[in-house]
Structure formats: C-alpha cells, structure tokens
Structure 1
Amino acid sequence: MSTSSADHPILPPRRPRLSVDELIRAKNAKPIRSLADLEALSADIFESDEELEEFLAFTYAERRRDVA
C-alpha cells in the first residue's frame, strides 16, 4: 500500500508559541489607561458607531451561546 501526498497534506511550518508578554512586546502594545484611550482606539478600528454596535452584539451573543 503506497501513500500519496493527498493522504498527507503539506502544512505550513509551525510558528513558535509565544507568551502573552512576548506578544505584547512584539506588537509594542501599550495598556489602555482611560476611556479616552479606548475611544481613540475604537475610532481606528470601527468605521461607524453601527459597526461597533454590531461587533459588541456579536461578541455578547457568542459569549453566551453555549450557556444554558
């Protein structure tokens, strides 16, 4: 019995797992220290208040999806 490449798909190389601290340093992330910081950040991510509200509603629903 021979094996073919279809039996063993080619996977991309594994990236090393980084700790949260390493990821934060790599992204040069800074803590959010105020509501104004958060508001400024959300303005860069969401194009409108409606888009932000949709994201928040989706996140809320997903967090409670399997809770009975």
Structure 2
Amino acid sequence: MSAAETERPIYPPVRPRLSVEELLAAKNTQPITGLEDSEADTFESDEELEEFLASTYAERRRDIA
C-alpha cells in the first residue's frame, strides 16, 4: 500500500480553536445594547402578526386532531 492509501482524512475536520471574541470579530458582530437591537420588521402591523399567529395555532391544532 502506498502512503496515500493509508492516510485517511480526519473526521470531523480539525478546526482552529478561536475565542468568543475572535469568532464575533470574524463575523463583524456587535453586542446587543438594548431590546430594540433584537427587533425585526417581519410584520408590517400588529394585525398581520395576529393573523399569522392565529393561522399557526390553527394549523397546530389541525395536525393534532
């Protein structure tokens, strides 16, 4: 057997160990400073959110029955 045949890839692959600070810096992540930082404009209105939630709950109940 050749050397190439006896060498197997390492699984899982070895990854460099990075600190939390290094990982955050690599993704250009900023710390959360308040609740408004986590807000998302997914729904245009409270009514649209309520319709989505009602539909979601109805589907869950339908699947249980």
From the CA coordinates, give the structure whose radius of gyration is larger. Answer: 2
Judge same fold: TM > 0.5, yes or no. Answer: no
Query: Could you tell me the TM-score, scaled by structure 2's length?
Result: 0.42
Scaled by the length of structure 1, the TM-score of the pair is 0.41
User: Which structure has the higher relative contact order (CA within 8 Å, separation 6+)?
Assistant: 1
